[in-house]
């Protein structure tokens, strides 16, 4: 645009102003300048469109940064959760109160939600990493996935801490200390990321639709990995959701076998698979799982 202005593309080329300048040079100069200014401003397009472009340009790097930091925070938190969950003395026989029961349910469901949404948010950012600016639809999907991942991650560590406090007479001292330390360390970090995410939410970026669903995110990213490009991913969103639920169930059963509780693993596998399908049903469109 600067080159165009230098060439004079946005300045009036009519010679009528030159003839008018003979009678009133001052008026002719003002008129030409005013017309040139109007054309230069009009070249930027409508103000609403320009505002959307600027907002998207500002929101894109912030959103990518939040997604990367969210994933990097959830990974060590997930490792700590796995260690505590697999070493929980389920047969200790302690009495479970209402808060303890809610903590146990939360410790089963929320980690899966945090993991799935965190991975899906990262996949969308990685798939569109070559795009200088993300559209409004993609920004909304990524923001929603990151928000759910952050909230579910915070609820996960809070649930473990609630279980530890409720069962403090039955669990080892190191387990209680570990659950409280995990919550005290991870929750503030997730809160800071949530605040950064909330600030990026203020940037409106137009009404452009999202570029595909979670199926597209997975397929495109796998296609770029030589050892994984041969993996067949279901095209239909419903079959994709069933595949994810099945993988979660298998991972839960294997975890139960590693902990020496196969029946407990089977029960938790059913609960977690049901939770995945329920989230797909309730949050499918908001998370970009459905078109």
Residue 31: count other Cβ atoms within 10 Å of its Cβ: 16
| Burial group, residue 14, by CB count within 10 angstroms (0-12, 13-18, 19+) | exposed
Average pLDDT in the 204-208 region?
Answer: 59
CA dist 103 and 108 (Å) reads 9
What's the pLDDT at 225?
83
Instruction: Indicate if the pLDDT at residue 249 is higher than 70.
Output: yes
pLDDT bucket at 25, cuts 50 / 70 / 90 = low
Q: Which residue has the higher pLDDT, 230 or 43?
A: 230
What's the pLDDT at 10?
37
- φ, ψ for residue 178 (rounded to 5)? -65, -40
Diameter over CA atoms, the chain: 103
pLDDT bucket at 20, cuts 50 / 70 / 90 = very low
Q: Which residue has the higher pLDDT, 137 or 175?
A: 175
Instruction: Indicate if the pLDDT at residue 266 is higher than 60.
Output: yes
Instruction: Indicate if the pLDDT at residue 4 is higher than 50.
Output: no
What's the pLDDT at 144?
92
Q: Highest mean pLDDT: which of 11-20, 167-176, 223-232?
A: 167-176
What's the pLDDT at 232?
81
Q: How far is C-alpha 93 from the geometric centre of its chain's CA atoms?
A: 39
What's the pLDDT at 118?
92
Mean pLDDT, the chain, rounded, equals: 78
Average pLDDT in the 228-245 region?
Answer: 83
CA dist 190 and 141 (Å) reads 19
DSSP 211: S
Look at 42-51, 84-93, 215-224, 275-284 and tell me which has the smallest mean pLDDT: 42-51
Q: At what angle do helices 237-258 and 262-283 cross, to 10 degrees?
A: 150
Average pLDDT in the 209-224 region?
Answer: 84
Nearest to 279 by CA among 120, 159, 137: 120
CA dist 66 and 68 (Å) reads 6
CA distances from 62 to 21, 43, 126 (A): 52, 28, 14
CA distances from 215 to 38, 111, 127, 177, 286 (A): 46, 21, 11, 40, 14
pLDDT per residue as tens digits for the range 34-91: 555 566 555 555 655 555 566 667 778 888 999 999 999 999 999 999 899 888 886 5
Our CA angle for 257, 258, 260, nearest 5°, is 60
Pull the structure tokens for residue 91.
């047969």
Average pLDDT in the 15-36 region?
Answer: 49
Q: What is the CA radius of gyration of the chain?
A: 28
Pull the structure tokens for residue 126.
């990685």
pLDDT per residue as tens digits for the range 93-115: 556 777 778 888 898 889 888 98
What's the pLDDT at 184?
96
CA distances from 65 to 62, 69, 214, 225 (A): 5, 6, 20, 23
Percent composition of the chain: helix, strand, coil (DSSP 3-state, to 5): 75, 0, 25
């Amino acid at each position: 645009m600067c080159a165009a202005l230098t060439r004079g593309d946005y300045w009036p080329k009519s010679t009528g102003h030159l003839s008018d300048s003979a009678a009133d040079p001052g008026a002719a100069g003002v008129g030409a300048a005013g017309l040139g200014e109007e054309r230069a401003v009009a070249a930027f397009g409508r103000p609403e469109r320009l505002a959307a472009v600027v907002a998207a340009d500002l929101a894109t790097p912030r959103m990518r940064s939040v997604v990367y930091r969210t994933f990097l925070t959830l990974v060590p938190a997930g490792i700590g959760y796995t260690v505590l969950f697999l070493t929980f003395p389920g047969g200790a026989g302690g009495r479970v109160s209402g808060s303890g029961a809610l903590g146990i349910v939360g410790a089963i469901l929320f980690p899966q939600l945090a993991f799935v949404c965190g991975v899906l948010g990262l996949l969308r950012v990685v798939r569109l990493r070559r795009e200088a600016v993300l559209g409004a639809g993609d920004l909304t999907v990524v923001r929603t996935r990151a928000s759910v991942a952050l909230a579910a991650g915070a609820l996960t560590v809070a649930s473990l801490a609630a279980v530890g406090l409720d069962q403090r007479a039955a669990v080892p001292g190191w387990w209680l200390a570990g659950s409280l330390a995990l919550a005290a360390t991870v929750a503030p970090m997730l809160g800071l990321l949530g605040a950064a995410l909330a600030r990026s939410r203020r940037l409106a970026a137009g009404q452009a639709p999202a570029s595909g669903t979670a199926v597209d995110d997975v397929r495109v990213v796998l296609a770029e990995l030589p050892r994984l490009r041969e993996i067949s991913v279901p095209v239909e969103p419903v079959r994709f959701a069933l595949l994810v639920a099945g993988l979660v169930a298998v991972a839960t059963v294997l975890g139960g076998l590693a902990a020496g509780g196969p029946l407990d693993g089977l029960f938790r596998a059913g609960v977690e698979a049901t939770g995945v399908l329920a989230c797909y049903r309730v949050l499918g469109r908001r998370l970009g799982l459905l078109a």
